[in-house]
Amino acid sequence: MPPPRPDADAHRAWLTRAIELGRSNLVSGDGGPFGAVIVMDGQVIGEGRNQVLQTHDPTAHAEVMALRQACTRLGRHQLPQAILYSSCEPCPMCLSAAYWAHIPRVYFAATRDDAAAAGFIDAELYALFEQRKRATMAIEQIDLPEARAALSAWIDSPLHQPY
**Catalytic residue numbers, as ranges:** 63
User: If binding is defined by CB under 8 A, does position 96 make contact with its own copies?
Assistant: yes
Exactly one of 37, 45, 62, 98 binds its own copies (CB under 8 A); which one? 98
Binding positions for its own copies, 5-24, rule CB under 8 A: 11-12, 15-16, 19, 22-23
Exposure class string for 95-130: b at 16+ Cβ within 10 A, else e: bebbeebebeebebbbebeebeeeebebbeebbbee
User: If binding is defined by CB under 8 A, does position 38 make contact with its own copies?
Assistant: no
Residue 86 and residue 36 in contact, taking contact as beta carbons nearer than 8 Å: yes
Helix or strand or coil: residue 137?
A: coil
Exactly one of 40, 44, 92, 123 binds its own copies (CB under 8 A); which one? 92
Nearer to its own copies, 44 or 107 (CB): 107
Query: How many positions of this chain bind its own copies (CB under 8 A)?
Result: 89
User: If binding is defined by CB under 8 A, does position 3 make contact with its own copies?
Assistant: no
- Minimum gap (Å) between residue 46 Cβ and its own copies: 11
Exactly one of 47, 101, 123, 133 binds its own copies (CB under 8 A); which one? 101
Q: What are phi and psi of 35, to 5 degrees?
A: -135, 160
Binding positions for its own copies, 39-78, rule CB under 8 A: 52-53, 55-59, 64, 67-68, 71-72, 74-78
